[in-house]
Structure 1
Amino acid sequence: MTLTIGIIGSGLVGKAVAHLATAAGYNVVISNSRGPDSLAGLITELGSRARAGTVDEAIAAADIVSLAIPLANFETLPADKLVGKVVIDQTNYYPGIGDFRRADLDNGELTSSELVQKHLWGSKVVKGIHNIGWIHMQHNARPVGDAERTTLPIAGDDRDAKDAVARFIEAVGYNVVDAGSLEDSWRIEPNTPIYFWPYAPAIAPSLSDAEAKKVYQQPGTPIAPEKARQLIRKAERPSPIGGTLEGMPPIHIALFLELASANTLKK
């Protein structure tokens, strides 16, 4: 039976997950806050394995639900509809962006994924596909056995849910290592050794902006599973907790702003 991935969020991350999933033979139901009609162009791009739906429809159809939304929006998720569902938490805590800030996250009382699990009380949350940028999420994917195949971490409290998410990630192009429980997931959050930077290529400072953008869209150096485990083990809890724009490659921010501006002009 072909599994269905329900995606909540159709931004850059949601689109990347949808492309990976359909390319790997999964069915996709993707949703956003603007309604299915706003996704007509994306569905044409994705092909016959994808359809648009409401958030409730994406959840109901899904074998696995992908949260491709800002962490700040977690309380908008319908917890009652997600009971029993396996949920991939792709959110990250960036307290310097927007107005979303919580003392329990800043103090390390909870990881961001524990916060999501607390809200989604009846679901099975697995942290994953959150530590790689949307560009490299697609460009770095490789089939099993490819020398350039890299590794992504997951964390969660439910063994079967972690196995299901691991199978999905492996199918779309990545090796997977287990980083532990949701309590342990700080080891793979922003500003830790396995977050973002290892998956992006180095950019020589002598390159022009156009050249840098071209190079940046190439894969980074592949991470073998054992190397990924080493990066996770050596992680120290960041202080302060949470990601920052300053902690991201400048070329990534430039590309994000360029795409955001282009999307704004289309509306």
Structure 2
Amino acid sequence: MTERAVVGIFGAGKVGTALARLLLAAGHEVLIAGSPRQTALDLLVGVVAPGARVVTADELVEASDVVFVAVPFGKAGSIPWNALSGRVVVDAMNYWPPVDGNIAEVDADPRSTSEQNAARNPDVRLVKSFNHVGYHEMEDDSLPAGDPLRSSMAVVGDDEEARAIVARLIDAIGFDPVDGGALAHGRVLEPGHPAFGRELSAAELGALLTPAAAVAA
């Protein structure tokens, strides 16, 4: 990945547009693909994430160095997973029954939700991150590198190089990246688990992940 990356975001909701603003401020190019049912998407993105470009799903997949999936978990099946083979994909979703409803097969599956998504296409270089921090905290808590008050963000996945790529993006938007190792360790980042929704230092977050080590940006 080049220093200035092309980052694609599936999802033009609060999380997707907050990510877009942070990534644009860090100097990256941002592409957004939303639901076909979202009307006036160009106008919306022009207002809430000026500088981001609205594209089709195919264009986003083709052009992006890193792809974020930031749609409601129940809509994960609408993502073109088969087209994402070989791509670094960040699963920023959370299974949230009050929004998604109770999905019996998800409730019965012992794997983390990101492991379930990874199984949609084993050739995707899936990383779980950004899901355990609220979209408002992403912008409110972003701080320069070295600031003692800087919060952290975890990155887990079975592809070490993909984790490092996402860690550099985390550092660029103002958080200390913490490497949590394998994708299965991402369960602690999900709703109802220890790291979800908490503002933690790198040391505090690292203590919740096994293995855990700060990622050098």
2:112 pairs with 1:135: no
Gaps of 5+ in 2: 211-217
Gaps of 5+ in 1: 200-222, 234-267
In terms of Rg, which structure is larger?
1
**Distance in 2 between the 1:177 and 1:112 partners?**
20
Question: Which amino acid letter does the alignment assign opposite residue 18 of structure 1?
Answer: A
Equivalent residues, number: 207
Question: Which amino acid letter does the alignment assign opposite residue 159 of structure 2?
Answer: D
Instruction: Report the CA distance between 1:115 and its aligned residue.
Output: 0.9
Structure 2 match to 1:112: 113
Q: 1:36 to 1:178 in 2, by over 3 A?
A: farther
Structure 2 match to 1:225: 202
**Distance in 1 between the 2:181 and 2:188 partners?**
9
TM-score, scaled relative to structure 1: 0.72
**Distance in 1 between the 2:145 and 2:112 partners?**
32
**Higher fraction of helix:** 1
**Distance in 2 between the 1:28 and 1:178 partners?**
24
**Distance in 1 between the 2:39 and 2:68 partners?**
17
Structure 1 vs Structure 2 CA RMSD: 1.8
Q: Secondary structure at the match of 2:177?
A: strand
% identical equivalent positions: 30
Instruction: Report the CA distance between 1:192 and its aligned residue.
Output: 1.6
Instruction: Report the CA distance between 1:11 and its aligned residue.
Output: 0.2
Q: Secondary structure at the match of 1:10?
A: coil
**Distance in 1 between the 2:181 and 2:20 partners?**
26
Single out whichever of 180-189 and 18-27 deviates more from structure 2. Answer: 180-189
Residue 36 of structure 1 contacts residue 53 of structure 1 at CA under 8 Å; is this kept in 2?
no
Residue 72 of structure 2 contacts residue 100 of structure 2 at CA under 8 Å; is this kept in 1?
no
Q: Secondary structure at the match of 1:186?
A: helix
The residue correspondences of 1:118-157 to structure 2 (distance < 5 A) are 118-157=119-158
Structure 1 match to 2:63: 61
**Distance in 2 between the 1:119 and 1:37 partners?**
31
Instruction: Report the CA distance between 1:121 and its aligned residue.
Output: 2.8
2:86 pairs with 1:84: yes
TM-score, scaled relative to structure 2: 0.88
**Distance in 1 between the 2:70 and 2:127 partners?**
13
CA deviation vs aligned residue, 1:201-225 (integer Å, no higher than 9, x gap): xxxxxxxxxxxxxxxxxxxxxx321
